[in-house]
Amino acid sequence: AQSVAQPEDQVNVAEGNPLTVKCTYSVSGNPYLFWYVQYPNRGLQFLLKYITGDNLVKGSYGFEAEFNKSQTSFHLKKPSALVSDSALYFCAVRGPYTGTASKLTFGTGTRLQVTL
Amino acid sequence: ETGVTQTPRHLVMGMTNKKSLKCEQHLGHNAMYWYKQSAKKPLELMFVYNFKEQTENNSVPSRFSPECPNSSHLFLHLHTLQPEDSALYLCASSQDVLAVYNEQFFGPGTRLTVL
């Protein structure tokens, strides 16, 4: 069975500092990895995904994520945090197509709080 | 209107009521999903439709009944719910269920409270 772990319920960072939101996964075969963000009273918004190729993936709003196969991780990063980045972040994984479609499995989410 | 829309945005219902949630996607996608989001828990996939056909029912109680009349519309009919069913219900769509590398696009959700 596939799974996602987001070990931190909350990450606090000062505006202008770099941020990292951690994600590790477990899946059979090559993973498809996604990051979503959820602002208050809103649905999930797609940020970026890893399918294959370059381990560093760039996405919306200056976010990027690094795929590390040996550590089965896909940490979300941003060089300089903004107060407006404060939101709930979800990592998700999907396994390869094996004749039937695999589910998109989400982590429990990490709340990012950016302060002035 | 673009993206994925959901109505109503908020719903309060008693345990004996019957109500329906509506989702519409304007992205030309063929797959639609219902998720339940509860506090401190991962998103729970409830139902999946691909080209109007249900492809997954994730052991959801029969008091939740989905309907997908076409690839653009998805409903969730609610009947005799329990207080523990109170949650944010999210609709999503994607190009195709089998295209596993495609991201899903989510609506804003319906905040459901069962009294």
Of the listed ranges A65-79, B39-53, B70-84, the one predicted with least confidence: B39-53
Q: How far apart are CA B21 and CA B25, in angstroms?
A: 14
Of the listed ranges A1-5, A34-38, A72-76, the one predicted with least confidence: A1-5
- Confirm if A101 and B100 have CB atoms less than 8 A apart: yes
Of the listed ranges A6-15, A81-90, A97-106, B6-15, the one predicted with least confidence: A97-106
Task: Dump pLDDT digits (tens) for B82-95.
Answer: 999 999 999 999 99
Residues of B in contact with A44 (CB under 8 A): 43, 90, 92, 104, 106
C-alpha dist (Å) from residue A50 to A55, A94, B101:
8, 11, 8
Q: How far apart are CA B84 and CA B45, in angstroms?
A: 16
The single residue listed with the structure tokens 């999210």 is: B90
Q: DSSP secondary-structure letter at B110?
A: E
Q: What is the CA radius of gyration of chain A?
A: 14
Q: Omega into B8 within 30° of 0, i.e. cis? A: yes
The single residue listed with the structure tokens 């269920």 is: B97
Q: How far apart are CA B93 and CA B4, in angstroms?
A: 8
Query: Chain B residues contacting A, CB < 8 Å?
Result: 4, 6, 40-43, 45, 48, 50, 55-56, 90, 92, 97-98, 100-101, 103-109, 111
Residue B65, pLDDT score? 96
